[in-house]
Amino acid sequence: MTPATGAFSAVDVAAAAVRTLAPYVPGKPIAELEREYGVRDSIKLASNENPLGPGPLALAAIARAAAEVGLYPDGNGFELKQALAQRYGCAMDMITLGNGSNDLLVLMAEAFLSVGTEAIVSQYAFAIYGIAVQATGATLRLAPAYPEGHPMALGHDLEAMAALINERTRLIYVANPNNPTGSWVNAAALRKFIASVPRSAVVLVDEAYIEYVDDENFPSTPHWLSEFPNLVVTRTFSKAYGLAGLRVGYALAHPTIGNVLNRVRQPFNVNLIALSAACAALDDHEHLKRSVAANREGMRQVQVALDRLGVKHYSSVGNFLLVDCGRPGGAVYESMLRQGVIVRPVGGYGLTNHLRITIGTAEQNRRMLDALQQSLKQAP
């Protein structure tokens, strides 16, 4: 056999759809910031984590489960599925577990998209949607968002999304609330949209921030599953439940969709400790109440301060705010890093003057606001 010659290029031999992918860049970790910038006592308000962390019931479950990490987890996640089924009054075969809800967003693309098919995403929707679609070789159709000046500026324009549906459409992502804008769509508008989608396409409603929402007009999508067999609802334990580091989420859908997802889902995709912690977190109603209340108070604290500073921000029902710095956001972000405060630049979304800021504790919020004010003075 003749030895191979010439330089090897992984990009050249990668799948065509992967060659042009830009990887998702997560929020900068505290350890990386302190290593690179030499700062200490940093805070991270970049990844929409719960500043209170896990509740006591979840922490106790984690400690108990640690003794069993030499064993594989239950690949079917029976106990967590059973708990979720009781919570939502649905059958267990309507639940699919994921390594965070992010896993399920990707599994949906793998299961329903291929070359020659299309997916629809709103302009400023979560970046993972587009990455997941592109990796399959399917075509991504981007619907324009609502413009500045609209009551839900930068949010999903469902009519614009509906206008892109055709016979090749197989998957539509709707983030509600949406990251990074904080915007949302109400029950009447979303229900009308889902009803208009042909049964040849699946609508995925991503509700990662649902626990923070306090709006009587917000959709209760799990109640719609019996009416819309092409509806999928994804939720996560990473946000309000404080389990971001364990990576566990779930999808609610018609059993036929769950059957398809399980054909591409990796075995043991949710680890043993995550399964135990999530079961316990579901029962820790007091910790969830504290987390939601702390976010509500922190949101008010930050919004009032931003108004006082004259900094534009957008309506949000999540645990974060999109802020318009009125100048390049990258420079403001860098200045805040040097003060030991990590927020999230969103230039990759085309929002070059903006930052996304997670709501933290009262003290974290005060420190972030001080750093932001100082950075706005320094940035050109």
Apex 89 CA angle, 206 and 212, nearest 5? 40
Residue-by-residue DSSP string for 10-47 = HHHHS-HHHHTPPPP-PPPPHHHHHHHH---S-EE-SS
3-state secondary structure at position 207: coil
Q: How confident is the model at residue 10 (pLDDT cuts 50, 70, 90)?
A: confident
Indicate the residue among 255, 284, 313 that finishes a domain: 284
Reported in sequence order, the residue ranges of the chain that DSSP labels E, i.e. its strands, are 43-44, 95-98, 118-122, 139-143, 169-175, 202-206, 231-236, 249-253, 312-313, 320-324, 341-342, 344-345, 354-358
One domain for residues 279 and 316: no
Question: For residue 149, what pLDDT is reported?
Answer: 93
One domain for residues 278 and 297: no
- Sign, CA dihedral 295-299-305-306, equals positive
- From 321, 206, 322, 271, select the one nearest 72 (Cα to Cα): 271
Structure tokens at 123: 């302009």
Give the tens place of pLDDT for each residue, 210-262: 999 999 899 999 999 999 999 999 999 999 999 999 999 999 999 999 999 99
Task: Indicate whether 5 belongs to any domain.
Answer: no
Give the tens place of pLDDT for each residue, 141-186: 999 999 999 999 999 999 999 999 999 999 999 999 999 999 999 9
Q: Mean pLDDT over all residues of the chain?
A: 95
Task: Indicate whether 2 belongs to any domain.
Answer: no
Buried b (16+ CB within 10 A) or exposed e, 269-287: bbbbbbbbbbbbbbebeeb
Give the number of other Cβ atoms within 10 Å of residue 262's Cβ: 15
Task: Indicate whether 4 belongs to any domain.
Answer: no
Question: For residue 3, what pLDDT is reported?
Answer: 66
Question: For residue 25, what pLDDT is reported?
Answer: 74
Q: How confident is the model at residue 8 (pLDDT cuts 50, 70, 90)?
A: confident
One domain for residues 290 and 274: no
Do 265 and 107 meet the contact criterion of CB atoms below 8 Å apart?
yes
One domain for residues 168 and 77: yes
Lowest mean pLDDT among 11-25, 36-50, 103-117, 305-319: 11-25
Question: For residue 167, what pLDDT is reported?
Answer: 98
3-state secondary structure at position 181: coil
One domain for residues 313 and 294: yes
* 304-313 long-range contacts, CB within 8 A, separation 24+: 305/365, 305/369, 306/369, 309/369, 309/372, 309/373, 309/376, 311/372, 311/376
Apex 182 CA angle, 172 and 326, nearest 5? 120
Do 322 and 313 meet the contact criterion of CB atoms below 8 Å apart?
yes
Strand order in the sheet with 344-345: 312-313, 320-324, 354-358, 344-345
Indicate the residue among 284, 305, 321 that finishes a domain: 284
Q: How confident is the model at residue 4 (pLDDT cuts 50, 70, 90)?
A: low
Question: For residue 243, what pLDDT is reported?
Answer: 98
Does pTM surpass 0.85? yes
Query: Residue 345 belongs to a domain with what CATH number?
Result: 3.90.1150.10
3-state secondary structure at position 356: strand
- How many domains is the chain partitioned into structurally? 2
One domain for residues 140 and 246: yes
Question: For residue 26, what pLDDT is reported?
Answer: 77
Task: Indicate whether 104 belongs to any domain.
Answer: yes
Task: Indicate whether 361 belongs to any domain.
Answer: yes
Instruction: Flag whether pLDDT at 348 surpasses 80.
Output: yes
Give the number of other Cβ atoms within 10 Å of residue 324's Cβ: 17
Task: Indicate whether 325 belongs to any domain.
Answer: yes
Give the tens place of pLDDT for each residue, 25-69: 778 889 998 898 888 999 999 999 999 999 999 999 999 999 999
Q: How confident is the model at residue 319 (pLDDT cuts 50, 70, 90)?
A: very high
Query: Residue 150 belongs to a domain with what CATH number?
Result: 3.40.640.10
Indicate the residue among 269, 284, 299 that finishes a domain: 284
Average pLDDT over residues 271-285: 98
Q: How confident is the model at residue 379 (pLDDT cuts 50, 70, 90)?
A: low
One domain for residues 188 and 266: yes
Task: Indicate whether 9 belongs to any domain.
Answer: no
Question: For residue 380, what pLDDT is reported?
Answer: 64
One domain for residues 26 and 77: no
One domain for residues 176 and 33: no
One domain for residues 173 and 235: yes
Residue-by-residue DSSP string for 222-247 = GGGTTT-TTEEEEEESSSTT--TTT-
State which residues form the domain around 101: 56-284
One domain for residues 254 and 317: no
Task: Indicate whether 152 belongs to any domain.
Answer: yes
One domain for residues 232 and 277: yes
